[in-house]
Structure 1
Amino acid sequence: MSLPPGFLDELRTRSSLSQVVGRKVMWDTRKSNQGKGDMWAPCPFHQEKSASFHVDDRKGFYYCFGCHAKGDAISFVRETENVGFMEAVEILAREAGMPMPARDPQAQQKADKRTELADVMELAVKWFRLQLRTGAAAQAREYLAGRGLDTAACDRWEIGFAPDSWQGLWDALKGKDIDDKLILGAGLAKPSTKGGKPYDTFRGRIMYPIRDARGRAIAFGGRAMDPDDKAKYLNSPETELFDKGRSLYNVRDARVAAGKGLPLLVAEGYMDVIALAEAGFGAAVAPLGTAITENQLAMLWRVSDEPIVMLDGDAAGQRAALRLIDLSLPLLEAGRSLRFAMMPEGQDPDDLLKAAGPGALQKIIDAAVPMVQLLWQREIEGRVFDSPERKAALDKSLRDKIALIKDPSIRSHYGQEIKDLRWDLFRAKRSGGAPSAGGPRRNGARPNGRWGAPEGPSPGAKTSALVIAEGAHATDHLREAVILAACISCPDVVENFEAGLESMACTDTTHARLRDLILRFAAQGDAVLREKIENALGFETLETLLAQRHVAITPCIRKPGNAEITAMTIAEELAKLHAARGLLDEVTDAVDDLSGEADEGVTWRLAEAARAAEMARRSGQEDKAEYVIANNGARLDREEVEKSRSFFDAIDFSKGGKKGS
């Protein structure tokens, strides 16, 4: 519907913003100046004690210096009443005594019908409540009492009862001259397929009214009293009033409670919501028997920036949470997310409150985890990552999920959080005594795994093995220093060597901690990486590493930031380190084998390991230059030849000097 020019301006002029806002806040009389229309109060949109919410009545605008909410009277009504633009205009126009412009006939007819349907629903609410007091509802009252609801609680929640009769409600409404089409249109009855009178939708059920954000009764939820009934819970069919995917149970009262600072809790069913509210957790809502939809999620975020989803401790509850994650990822915005409170296995909020009281539930709420942790848990649950391929599959799955996030800032933070969780997982496996992903080392298991500083040889090793080990460790220490310094000088290349760095056993704890910091923070850039190293190990550690002679002469240290040279250095040094340690493992094993029967297998293994180590050692010394063959058969460096030709081509011999001189 379009509004005539000037209508909104007149509406804003007639509406006092301070009066509209004053219904939702308590003004701070010490800070406010009513004569000037300068009003202050605690913000109704977020929890606070100080008065940071400012209303300028003369300009007709409000602004919160805490949460930065701002707008006019229309936007305030929209946010606090959870209504659309036209509904907010209608509310303000009615309060200001302004007639709404005439709608087109079809729109007016539809609005009138919705009003009539809502009136019929209110009649049904009253009739169901009356039936709960009859003799036919004795079993229902007993059930409700067993769930902890006395008469006063049933009245607060307007709980009723539908007798087990075919036309009880139908006859009652017809007795009030309600048109058949309205009863059927409200979903309270269904037409007979046998040509008889329509019959009641709800029979033999405890009735829970469902109200929208404006407080209108739009539907019912009915709980069957017959244990053999196929549908334990039954909702109203969808009507012009009721869209199940756009409705939440208790949304009106939950919004008020959330405005007072209570956390918004998302439970599974009606009784969970009622139990939570009765126990003091008034900001509780529930979807209506289905998984949360995108529209319901938007409704939740209009009430609270970070609702807490209460997951039942069963498989169905877990599956519902995981579906919600996939729905939520593309919709995340800065400051707007979800948290998940995990209930004990086999319990829902109602069960826990009865068994352990509000204090136990509050602990569950306080321990609610952010969505990124549940996403991570879903991807690793029940899986073993004992091979590079499985780790790569995990990385791909997580990248695909994070890519769904549209906000680049949130996507970046999710990526870093996942990287930290991945790091913690694999570091724990390697350093906690469990076998590492690469299996046990051949030179004996280490209590610290391959991430810790290596221990000395076993007491049974021969003296020659000790000598070899001491020399190897000294060389390894030098190579490790070069690798670590190269990574620090150009963190951009670290991603390409993560697997090699992860499997690199360090000769001392300082190198091990440097490696861990590099793997964890290299992706955040040079400045962040150096800051993390200095905070963890001190400035002197980094300065000492880079000042070592064998490190300082490395080309990538003399020319920091050169990705090509750095990558070449790291690749060569890792290869040498791997080959040398392979040789050491073979020597150690051979010493042990020589205590038994000697065979050719021992010497063959040593020869192969030595050959691999020598090839790795020589790889950095190979001459990679390209040559041309001169007329006399001599090999000449192609690059030097081309430089010489360029030099001579620039000389003009006819004038005895260079061309152009």
Structure 2
Amino acid sequence: MSLPPGFLDELRSRLSIGQVVGRKVIWDSRKSNQARGDLWAPCPFHQEKTASFHVDDRKGYYYCFGCHAKGDAISFVRETENLGFMEAVEVLAREAGMQMPARDPRAQEKADRLGRLREAMEAAVRHFRMQLATGAGAEARDYLARRGLDEATIGRFELGFAPDARRGLFEALGGQGFPPEVLIEAGLAARPDDGGAPYDRFRGRIVFPIRDGQGRAIGLGGRAMRTDARAKYLNSPATPLFDKSRSLYNLAPAREAAGKGRPLIVAEGYMDVIALVRAGFEGAVAPLGTAITEEQLDLLWRMADEPLIALDGDRAGLSAAQRLIDLSLPRLKAGKGLRFVLMPPGKDPDDLLREGGAAAMQKLLDGAMPMVQLLWQRETEGHVFDSPERRAALDARLKGHVDRIADPVLRRHYDDALRELRYQMRRASNALPARRRGLPPPPSAPRPSTQRSLLAAGGSGPVPERLAEAAILSALLMHPSLAAEVEAQLESLEWSDPANAAMGAAILAHQDLSSEALRIRLAELLGAEPLERLDSLDHLAVMPFRRRPEDRESARLAIAGALDRLEAEQGHRMELSEAEEDIAGLATETLTWRLRDAAEARDRAVRAMQEDKTDYEIAENGARIDRREREAMPNWASTHPADEAAARQTPEKLGAPAVRISLPRY
């Protein structure tokens, strides 16, 4: 049985040879790089202990450096399962979801005709390249020079020029023996509706050859030189060689670059790809004049786990990105995603590279946005969520998008990420003035009895969090060097009060100063008022590190306890906030467990922070005194001999169990 032309190419493009071979071998995790499709294992064709069997998943081939076995997915199935060629093809076709074609007695004839079409395409590429070097191509050469393309780049991408002549290519290739039917079927020429003589499809255009993953010319793209042309860009029509929904510009070189770890960047047009490659971003491709299709998306994921989508920063580019989100959601899998590079408004990669160079582009690539964030931006940008109805509508839209994800684990992670974004939006909303949120205004002034309380000290955020933040700042002011021990936690801390955040950042920046020098520096940076307000808080005055300024360990314990409480408070509040939404829907046991765990974590943090670990001694008269404070008073023993003697008696000597008393700190 003969297979129709292109069937095996399609089969190989749909399959991952890594998955096919992976059923028979165990990959060597030390030598393999799964992300790059670089896989190694002991050879299944001969006995060995070392991993000399190599699979290049991106190119679709395997090779053993020991026994020299080599081939593709079809040959691997044939050799390992002892099958004939057509049997192996049938096995793989079922796995790829492809229908085996019916017997075609004219298959060889079609294969020969397909080969003739490829020859015509290669002849056309050569013809257009020669035309660019003639006098007729002078204007095109000037245009390319203005776009920054040198001769090496023009040669690398095989750019050419189609003169504005009705039958220039048709007659040139006809003279080389290509009949009109071949030129028309290859998409190089067209026959008018009135049945007249065929004419060239590409005229008055710069020509960009389009090649498949094996480097064969399959189509052409043309940019009009005239500003009044009906279409600025023109691609080859659908032919037996060319299907623009399954092709990408610069596919083969980009696949090779992605295999070496270079980023795979999806730009919008030919010139963007060429500019990116010239700037060193060799893994650049472009769809061919249309939005990215399912087939192109699968092709991209075969080359890289997270392609970078760098579409133009105009309305059309953003719309294309949004459409791609809808296309991608049902096809997402663990480890296969998209990141979006948001270009400046009105700019494309070519513009950005000419103005800012490779560094400007690299900066944007480094800040590529995960797809979940762009989805959130699409659903929230330009909207106001100041009522339960509007927030419920947002939740319904987001739930509809998440439900389209087939992978249950990935669906849960998307749901978690969107919940976090909702929580951040709610926090930002709570930071707005009460009048803008539709809430009654706060009292104009605190009562006299609360003048020295935390509530009257100003600032924003929940009181428990501000209370813990104040403890952290006060302890660090007394022992600045402790900031180095918790620097990572402080940098990632979501401060509830902007004033506290400013003071925390200043302390981190000047942690090498002494306590006195730090206070002077903070007063210069922030003014005296924040320090005075912090010093005046009554709940801090009773804390051990304030009563014993030289006690560095008590300050360290206070900071650790406060950080734990902040984490527990914020986690508890987030769970409660999410519960408000979930309880209106389908409440499950999972919701109850989450709330219980959050409440227990919060209670543990509060108890740990409130517990006073001071060692107290019990005098004969029952009075309690801090052992370290007693020992620090030199005249205490001489002025209180009876109590001193009693204090030196351990509880066991007095016939009583050891006593440690825990007092609330505040």
Structure 2: which amino acid aligns with 1:518?
E
**1:518 alignment partner, one of 565, 572, 575:** 575
Structure-1 residue corresponding to 2:335? 335
Cα distance in 1 for partners of 2:207, 2:168 equals: 14
Structure 1: which amino acid aligns with 2:606?
T
1:261 equivalenced with 2:243 (yes/no): no
CA apart distance, 1:90 = 8.8
**2:606 alignment partner, one of 533, 541, 549:** 541
When residues 442 and 435 of structure 1 are mapped into structure 2, their CA distance, relative to the original with a 3 A threshold, is: closer
When residues 328 and 342 of structure 1 are mapped into structure 2, their CA distance, relative to the original with a 3 A threshold, is: same
1:54 equivalenced with 2:41 (yes/no): yes
**Unaligned residue ranges in structure 1 (runs of 5+):** 4-16, 22-37, 94-98, 445-456, 464-468, 471-476, 478-507, 546-661
Secondary structure class of the residue paired with 2:222: strand
Cα distance in 2 for partners of 1:390, 1:62 equals: 63
CA contact (8 A) 1:386 1:437 kept: no
Cα distance in 1 for partners of 2:299, 2:187 equals: 24
Structure 2: which amino acid aligns with 1:386?
D
TM alignment of 1:356-505, pairs within 5 A: 356-431=356-431, 433-435=432-434, 438-444=437-443, 458=445
Cα distance in 1 for partners of 2:219, 2:47 equals: 37
TM alignment of 1:148-187, pairs within 5 A: 148-187=148-187
CA apart distance, 1:115 = 1.5
Structure 1: which amino acid aligns with 2:445?
S
1:16-57 Cα deviation digits (max 9, x unpaired):
x9xxx9xxxxxxxxxxxxxxxx99995476359xx9723516
1:93-125 Cα deviation digits (max 9, x unpaired):
9xxxxx988984233332222221111100000
Structure-2 residue corresponding to 1:272? 272
1:112-149 Cα deviation digits (max 9, x unpaired):
22221111100000000000000000000000011111
CA contact (8 A) 2:170 2:200 kept: yes
CA contact (8 A) 2:247 2:287 kept: yes
Secondary structure class of the residue paired with 1:394: helix
TM-score, normalised relative to structure 2: 0.60
CA contact (8 A) 1:52 1:64 kept: no
When residues 232 and 2 of structure 1 are mapped into structure 2, their CA distance, relative to the original with a 3 A threshold, is: closer
CA contact (8 A) 2:332 2:406 kept: yes
When residues 416 and 92 of structure 1 are mapped into structure 2, their CA distance, relative to the original with a 3 A threshold, is: closer
Cα distance in 2 for partners of 1:161, 1:60 equals: 57
Query: What percentage of aligned pairs have identical amino acids?
Result: 49
Cα distance in 2 for partners of 1:172, 1:92 equals: 46
Structure 2: which amino acid aligns with 1:439?
G
Structure 2: which amino acid aligns with 1:539?
R
Cα distance in 2 for partners of 1:328, 1:63 equals: 40
The range that moved more, 193-202 or 511-520, is 511-520
Structure-2 residue corresponding to 1:350? 350
CA contact (8 A) 1:313 1:342 kept: yes
Cα distance in 1 for partners of 2:578, 2:398 equals: 19
Cα distance in 1 for partners of 2:106, 2:339 equals: 43
1:164-184 Cα deviation digits (max 9, x unpaired):
000000001110111211100
CA contact (8 A) 2:253 2:282 kept: yes
CA apart distance, 1:356 = 0.5
Secondary structure class of the residue paired with 2:128: helix
Cα distance in 2 for partners of 1:204, 1:193 equals: 22
When residues 91 and 413 of structure 1 are mapped into structure 2, their CA distance, relative to the original with a 3 A threshold, is: closer
Secondary structure class of the residue paired with 1:319: helix
1:403-425 Cα deviation digits (max 9, x unpaired):
11111111111011000000101
Cα distance in 2 for partners of 1:161, 1:89 equals: 41
Structure 1: which amino acid aligns with 2:439?
P
Secondary structure class of the residue paired with 1:46: helix
1:470-529 Cα deviation digits (max 9, x unpaired):
9xxxxxx9xxxxxxxxxxxxxxxxxxxxxxxxxxxxxx9989747524336768656666
CA apart distance, 1:152 = 1.3
When residues 392 and 250 of structure 1 are mapped into structure 2, their CA distance, relative to the original with a 3 A threshold, is: same
Structure-1 residue corresponding to 2:499? none
Cα distance in 2 for partners of 1:365, 1:55 equals: 37
Q: How many pairs does the alignment contain? A: 447
When residues 225 and 91 of structure 1 are mapped into structure 2, their CA distance, relative to the original with a 3 A threshold, is: farther
CA contact (8 A) 2:572 2:595 kept: no
CA contact (8 A) 1:77 1:88 kept: no
When residues 131 and 421 of structure 1 are mapped into structure 2, their CA distance, relative to the original with a 3 A threshold, is: same
TM-score, normalised relative to structure 1: 0.60
When residues 224 and 409 of structure 1 are mapped into structure 2, their CA distance, relative to the original with a 3 A threshold, is: same
Structure 1: which amino acid aligns with 2:438?
G
1:235-263 Cα deviation digits (max 9, x unpaired):
00110111111111011110000000001
TM alignment of 1:112-261, pairs within 5 A: 112-261=112-261
Cα distance in 2 for partners of 1:344, 1:301 equals: 26
Cα distance in 2 for partners of 1:91, 1:129 equals: 41
Cα distance in 2 for partners of 1:166, 1:188 equals: 12
Secondary structure class of the residue paired with 2:342: strand
RMSD: 4.3
When residues 234 and 532 of structure 1 are mapped into structure 2, their CA distance, relative to the original with a 3 A threshold, is: same
TM alignment of 1:243-322, pairs within 5 A: 243-322=243-322
Structure-1 residue corresponding to 2:619? none
Structure 2: which amino acid aligns with 1:53?
W
CA apart distance, 1:441 = 1.7
**1:78 alignment partner, one of 24, 40, 60:** 60
TM alignment of 1:3-14, pairs within 5 A: none
Structure 2: which amino acid aligns with 1:400?
G
CA apart distance, 1:443 = 3.9
Secondary structure class of the residue paired with 1:210: strand
1:447-477 Cα deviation digits (max 9, x unpaired):
xxxxxxxxxx626x899xxxxx99xxxxxx9
CA contact (8 A) 1:245 1:293 kept: yes
CA apart distance, 1:539 = 2.4
CA contact (8 A) 1:121 1:217 kept: yes
CA apart distance, 1:434 = 4.0
Cα distance in 1 for partners of 2:49, 2:289 equals: 38
When residues 434 and 221 of structure 1 are mapped into structure 2, their CA distance, relative to the original with a 3 A threshold, is: farther
Structure 1: which amino acid aligns with 2:327?
L
1:63-106 Cα deviation digits (max 9, x unpaired):
999xxxx9979x7853799xxxx99659999xxxxx98898423
CA contact (8 A) 1:190 1:198 kept: yes
When residues 61 and 137 of structure 1 are mapped into structure 2, their CA distance, relative to the original with a 3 A threshold, is: farther
CA apart distance, 1:230 = 1.5
Cα distance in 2 for partners of 1:409, 1:90 equals: 35
When residues 92 and 144 of structure 1 are mapped into structure 2, their CA distance, relative to the original with a 3 A threshold, is: farther
Cα distance in 2 for partners of 1:368, 1:306 equals: 11
1:175-226 Cα deviation digits (max 9, x unpaired):
0111211100000000133443200000000000000111110000000000
Cα distance in 1 for partners of 2:58, 2:441 equals: 70
Secondary structure class of the residue paired with 1:242: coil
Structure 2: which amino acid aligns with 1:541?
V
Cα distance in 1 for partners of 2:234, 2:265 equals: 23
Cα distance in 2 for partners of 1:60, 1:76 equals: 26
When residues 397 and 41 of structure 1 are mapped into structure 2, their CA distance, relative to the original with a 3 A threshold, is: closer
When residues 389 and 40 of structure 1 are mapped into structure 2, their CA distance, relative to the original with a 3 A threshold, is: closer
Secondary structure class of the residue paired with 2:309: strand
Structure 1: which amino acid aligns with 2:573?
D
CA contact (8 A) 1:419 1:520 kept: no
When residues 44 and 124 of structure 1 are mapped into structure 2, their CA distance, relative to the original with a 3 A threshold, is: farther
